Chain A
């Protein structure tokens, strides 16, 4: 089979992996080598679905021994199968890289023969790139659950980021949809990687020459909407992963029906708005000092699709507002809808020199159409509708962008679980 055909099949098989980030590593080029990392990551294109393309995202092979219900590559699915040789992967990566199509490689694989065997194949391809081609660009490798820890360590020495997909938000979901995958087999290597990262960081503090281990950290991905798990349990899971394993990212992927299996919900469209809300909340966890318990409760375990999580939180805690922009501490500024990390920092910097007026907030980058309901400037309140939770909610819901793709059809997915 020609490389072009293989690429077609194996890119197609890899596209449901969400992550394409290339940030977090500043690997330097070596003498006579090719490539370098870029701390903030670089996007190289955007595909028709609006997602960024930064890495060459391919499977080494899509021949799988597993039969996970939600996955296109499951053994029972009748699709064309193909496998790259390590040389083909290296050649393709280097040639795409030299033309500046990509920032590096995201290499994954279906489980062929056994987890160990698959992991060895992946390592071989990456070894070739690093050692023979002297490639210093970004490499993200999937770790295969169930593979020997020795192989995980070996891979970690070579790549910039590793990820192990948690796949589904609960072990019940896993049991139902991916009976061959065990929660323990996923969590264990995450712990291994995380402790190794910490240990290596310590060593590097002492000897600068100690080799790096997964310098861009690890991430994971889970599917939203294939199981009845609610947003609260998903968010708690993410929170746990961030706190316990210092994960860099948890990716959420709206379930795209790729098979008709009676264990799966029948939905007309992927729950994109729900995915969007989870990402918004994820940001609140990582950069805004929120915890899951503040954003959702048992009594209301799912996000309001009509309103973003931060506005929703502010309205439920209206007693904390309005906040005086010239006095509120940084941590509280972050909690005001319409104020992001950048603008909160700028407010703190600028108000050291002078009082901030309402008009000057615009220059700082505050989104006033949201913020005005929650702040005072020099004691004056600027919201026009009056400081009433109900009235503000009405205005904010009216302002939400009309998500064209997320019409009523999305709601249907819940019905099969509630009936």
Chain B
């Protein structure tokens, strides 16, 4: 038995998929470097990331299967699930045979597994579109901190680039230490800690207070239902919500 190990990047994963097709020894699993759990009976093959091979696989998925399949694969990757690489490999094995119909094989284990994780990522990305909270900082900059379960920063950035096109903004994923930055023109993803001190704009606290007040007043007292509230908005997201902060 052999497992392929990739460096944890999307290109790395695609390279591993490429190798799986051209090497004699087929992988049992495809695992990111950080997720290995040593197993006596398994040997590991470290795959060197190669842009060219990754690109070939990327294009092949898009052209020979479908753009939707490519989206499923990318979202699956962003789930950071230990099994994501393996699920994607099995899904693509079937995909290169079945073509664009792959996503209709709802009951096939390989399709079901990948759909499950990619749907979770899509769901969280959508939720984040709503619950990201920007704070206005001195110097006309809007700054948001998030700690999402999945790595969705790159998925939400295009939305805000369109919507808040005339502002400077930063969405900072504190958990992964990455951020998307936008400068009224284009957005990029950067890694590493952000420099600079956070100084709020003079009006910021005033608007936060108004939002808290609004949030409190809009609930109908005879219908209070905290369980329902938590179903939609799990507590793990409350930390960065202005309206949930105790005054």
Residues of A at under 8 Å CB distance from B? Answer: 3-4, 7-8, 11-12, 14-16, 28-29, 32-36, 38, 40, 42-54, 56-57, 92, 95-96, 98-101, 103, 137, 254, 256-257, 269-270, 272, 346, 349-350, 352-354, 356-357, 360, 363-364, 405
CB atoms of B210 and A3 under 8 A apart: yes
CB atoms of A16 and B210 under 8 A apart: no
CB atoms of B209 and A34 under 8 A apart: no
Q: Which residues of A contact B107 (CB under 8 A)?
A: 350, 354, 356-357, 360, 363-364
Say yes or no: is B185 at the interface (Cβ < 8 Å to chain A).
Answer: no
New A-B pairs, 7, CB < 8 Å, besides A11-B217, A57-B218: A4-B209, A16-B220, A34-B164, A50-B223, A98-B167, A99-B211, A100-B132
CB atoms of A12 and B217 under 8 A apart: yes
CB atoms of A15 and B219 under 8 A apart: yes
Name the residue on A nearest B142 (C-beta): A98
Q: Which of B136, B163, B165, B203 has the most A CB atoms < 10 Å from its CB?
A: B163
> Which residues of B in the span 167-200 have a Cβ within 8 Å of any Cβ on A?
167
Provide the main secondary structure of the chain A interface: loop
Q: Which residues of B contact A354 (CB under 8 A)?
A: 107
B69 CB to nearest A CB, Å: 15
Q: Which residues of B contact A15 (CB under 8 A)?
A: 217-220
CB atoms of A11 and B106 under 8 A apart: no
Residue from A3, A50, A98 in contact with B164 in the complex, judged by beta carbons closer than 8 Å: A98
Name the residue on A nearest B116 (C-beta): A363
Cα(A293)–Cα(B135), bound, Å: 52
Cα(A16)–Cα(B241), bound, Å: 24
Across the A-B interface, the 5 shortest Cβ-Cβ residue pairs: A50-B228, A360-B107, A47-B219, A349-B104, A49-B223
A121 CB to nearest B CB, Å: 21
Residue from A11, A46, A360 in contact with B232 in the complex, judged by beta carbons closer than 8 Å: A46
Q: Which of B127, B130, B134 has the most A CB atoms < 10 Å from its CB?
A: B130
CB atoms of A101 and B211 under 8 A apart: yes
B66 CB to nearest A CB, Å: 14
Name the residue on A nearest B161 (C-beta): A29
Cα(A32)–Cα(B228), bound, Å: 39
Say yes or no: is B233 at the interface (Cβ < 8 Å to chain A).
Answer: yes
CB atoms of A7 and B162 under 8 A apart: no
Cα(A346)–Cα(B105), bound, Å: 9
Q: Which residues of A contact B132 (CB under 8 A)?
A: 100
Please encode chain B, from 219 to 247, with 1 for each CB lying within 8 Å of some chain A CB and 0 for all others.
11111111111011100000001110000
CB atoms of B228 and A45 under 8 A apart: no
User: What are 24 A-to-B residue pairs whose CB atoms are below 8 Å?
Assistant: A4-B210, A7-B214, A8-B217, A15-B217, A28-B162, A29-B162, A35-B163, A42-B130, A45-B233, A47-B215, A49-B220, A49-B221, A49-B223, A50-B227, A95-B207, A98-B134, A99-B134, A99-B136, A100-B132, A101-B242, A256-B220, A256-B222, A350-B107, A357-B107
Q: Which residues of B contact A50 (CB under 8 A)?
A: 223, 225-229, 231-232
CB atoms of B104 and A38 under 8 A apart: no
- Interface size counted on chain B using CB atoms at 8 A: 53
Cα(A354)–Cα(B232), bound, Å: 36
Q: Which residues of B contact A34 (CB under 8 A)?
A: 163-167
CB atoms of B215 and A53 under 8 A apart: yes
B238 CB to nearest A CB, Å: 10
Q: Which residues of A contact B64 (CB under 8 A)?
A: none
Residue from A44, A98, A405 in contact with B136 in the complex, judged by beta carbons closer than 8 Å: A98
Given A32-B166, A96-B207, A49 contacting B105 (CB threshold 8 A): no
A166 CB to nearest B CB, Å: 20
Given A50-B231, A349-B106, A350-B107, A11 contacting B214 (CB threshold 8 A): yes
Name the residue on B nearest A364 (C-beta): B106
Q: Which residues of B contact A52 (CB under 8 A)?
A: 232
CB atoms of B229 and A47 under 8 A apart: yes
Given A4-B213, A101-B133, A49 contacting B225 (CB threshold 8 A): yes
Name the residue on A nearest B228 (C-beta): A50
Q: Which residues of B contact A360 (CB under 8 A)?
A: 107
Say yes or no: is B56 at the interface (Cβ < 8 Å to chain A).
Answer: no
Q: Which residues of A contact B135 (CB under 8 A)?
A: 99
Name the residue on B nearest A137 (C-beta): B163
A314 CB to nearest B CB, Å: 24
A330 CB to nearest B CB, Å: 14
Cα(A95)–Cα(B207), bound, Å: 7
Say yes or no: is B18 at the interface (Cβ < 8 Å to chain A).
Answer: no
CB atoms of A29 and B229 under 8 A apart: no
Q: Which residues of B contact A51 (CB under 8 A)?
A: 219-220, 223
Say yes or no: is B60 at the interface (Cβ < 8 Å to chain A).
Answer: no
Given A56-B214, A405-B225, A29 contacting B232 (CB threshold 8 A): no
